[in-house]
Amino acid sequence: MQETLYWLDLLGVAVFAASGALTASRKQMDIFGFALIATVTGIGGGTVRDLLLGIQPVFWINDPAYPLTCVAIAVMVYFTAHLVESRFRTLLWADALGISMFCITGAAIALAAGAPPVSAVILGTVTATFGGLTRDVLCNEIPLILRREIYATAAAAGATVFVVLDLLGTPAWLDIALAFTTALALRGAALTFGLYFPVYKTRPGRDYSDDGS
């Protein structure tokens, strides 16, 4: 299972790095900007997770495959982004794939570090969302996590499915498959059908008059 999770994590980094590089292309950055945004997006969520868990050094320090993957993806997108017809739509789906992978690896790493199940779900969600959040803040975009469509909820649902199935002792491949499907189905439905939770509606403020009432 550890090897499967490693490759899933590295694939998630690659997909998230692509989403970061696509954002850099929309902002017309130079190749250094591509590499920076791709790297921050790819490893940002996992870095926050490891810091919260007290894992030292964080995962990419001793494994250069992670930052090198981000840079390689950034260079590739730099030279090919103009071929993508709808970069924002592609970014959204790349991001959806990324959160579906990272919610699993984040929760698994948290469980392996001894985190309780609820904390593992939270850390799986953090892993899945904080890279994209950092990307959007750096690029002066409204973070996807703050948009109306279902986003963090999809990551939390995927992490929950993984943690529950892991506690039940089901086969690892089934844990991963069902958690990935859950997260991607929810986020994909939000992108396809515009699903979102009800938003707060403003109401007239109460009139506090001086009549003593």
Read off the pLDDT of residues 17-63 as tens digits, 9 standing for 90 and up.
Answer: 999 999 999 999 999 999 999 999 999 999 999 999 999 999 999 99
H or E segment and range at residue 30: none
Cα–Cα distance for residue pair 197/213, rounded to 1 Å = 37
Cα–Cα distance for residue pair 9/29, rounded to 1 Å = 27
How high is the pLDDT of residue 64? 95
Residue 211: band (very low, low, confident or very high) from pLDDT cuts 50, 70, 90: low
Read off the pLDDT of residues 60-114 as tens digits, 9 standing for 90 and up.
Answer: 999 999 999 999 999 999 999 988 878 889 999 999 999 999 999 999 999 999 9
Read off the pLDDT of residues 190-205 as tens digits, 9 standing for 90 and up.
Answer: 999 988 888 777 777 6
pLDDT of 212 strictly over 60: no
Q: At what angle do helices 65-80 and 31-53 cross, to 10 degrees?
A: 150
Read off the pLDDT of residues 116-160 as tens digits, 9 standing for 90 and up.
Answer: 999 999 999 999 999 999 999 999 998 988 888 899 999 999 999
> What CA–CA distances, in Å, run from 115 to 39, 135, 157?
27, 27, 18
Cα–Cα distance for residue pair 44/109, rounded to 1 Å = 15
How high is the pLDDT of residue 156? 97
Residue 161: band (very low, low, confident or very high) from pLDDT cuts 50, 70, 90: very high
How high is the pLDDT of residue 205? 65
How high is the pLDDT of residue 201? 79
How high is the pLDDT of residue 98? 95
